[in-house]
């Protein structure tokens, strides 16, 4: 059975001497893996269409329930080459890729996540603040897949609170938090930034101009939340921190 769709390359894994296993995010099929025969043998447009982040129209062949259909065609819509050519942008994009791969099951279609990723890549290519865009992606992505932290009110009773508890994924008020250790304080400015990054349109989010300290404070909370859910840190985040540090 021949299928045809649009996809964004998230990852490639070498297979044998010249083949690749390519992971795509698609709008109608979700995460899919496909077997690409011999793209590493020749420098060709087919091979270049399999570079990470490349947005393409793809065709693949295989039974409907096969785990690894064969990629038969890949036509580039947009390569996002400038992101790969910028170390800072590509390292930030690697966080986006990793979080997407960790939270989305294969073949679980989510058009909103696909659209979000495509818009984020377009913004990364045209704007000069990748850190705020990555945080914007993480926050909106977590909301779309049902894992967003709750920072606006107590997760138990709905009253206001200023302390975030990782074990609950939420702010708790003083009454509901009794007996629970290790809160993370949430300032009004952090909550406002979180709300803005949740609600603003991706292509306009660059207009938000938080201080580095404020953005780092929110980023730390989101990353701690992700680490708690996954029971492991993001490899790309640790690498980015080591480079920036």
CA distance 212 to 170: 24
Inform me whether the pLDDT recorded for 244 exceeds 70.
no
How distant, in Å, are the alpha carbons of 73, 171, 192, 221 from that of 186?
Answer: 49, 8, 10, 9
Contacts 24+ apart (CB under 8 A), 194-198: 194/139, 194/151, 194/218, 195/152, 197/132, 197/135, 197/136, 197/139, 197/140, 198/139, 198/140, 198/143, 198/148
Q: What residue spans in the chain does CATH classification 1.20.1440.120 cover?
A: 83-244
pLDDT of residue 240: 64
Q: What residue spans in the chain does CATH classification 2.40.50.140 cover?
A: 2-79
pLDDT of residue 128: 73
What token pair was written down for 92?
């930030």
Please tell me whether residue 9 adopts helix, strand or coil conformation: strand
Q: What is the CATH number of domain 83-244?
A: 1.20.1440.120
CATH architecture of 2-79: Beta Barrel (2.40)
Inform me whether the pLDDT recorded for 80 exceeds 90.
yes
pLDDT of residue 164: 97
Phi-psi region of 24 (alpha: psi -120 to 50; beta: other; left: phi over 0): beta
The reported pTM is 0.91
**Can you tell me the mean pLDDT for 23-37?**
95
**Can you tell me the mean pLDDT for 141-161?**
96
């Amino acid at each position: 059975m021949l299928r045809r769709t649009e996809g964004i390359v998230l990852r490639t894994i070498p297979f044998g001497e010249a083949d690749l296993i390519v992971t795509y995010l698609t709008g109608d099929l979700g995460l899919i893996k496909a077997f690409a025969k011999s793209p590493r043998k020749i420098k060709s447009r087919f091979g270049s269409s399999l570079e990470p982040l490349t947005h393409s129209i793809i065709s693949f062949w295989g039974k409907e329930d096969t785990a690894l259909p064969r990629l038969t065609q890949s036509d580039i819509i947009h390569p996002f080459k400038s992101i790969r050519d910028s170390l800072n942008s590509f390292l930030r994009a690697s966080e986006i890729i990793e979080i997407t791969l960790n939270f989305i099951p294969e073949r679980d279609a989510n058009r909103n996540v696909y659209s979000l990723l495509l818009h984020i890549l377009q913004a990364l290519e045209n704007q000069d603040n990748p850190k705020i865009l990555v945080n914007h992606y993480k926050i909106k992505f977590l909301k779309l897949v049902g894992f967003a932290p709750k920072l606006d009110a107590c997760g138990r009773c709905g009253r206001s609170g200023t302390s975030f508890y990782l074990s609950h994924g939420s702010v708790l008020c003083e009454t509901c938090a009794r007996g629970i250790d290790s809160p993370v304080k949430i300032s009004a400015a952090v909550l406002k930034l979180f709300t803005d990054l949740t609600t603003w349109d991706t292509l306009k989010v660059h207009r938000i101009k938080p201080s580095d300290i404020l953005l780092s404070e929110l980023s730390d909370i989101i990353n701690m939340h992700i680490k708690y859910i996954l029971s492991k840190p993001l490899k790309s985040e640790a690498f980015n921190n080591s480079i920036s540090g």
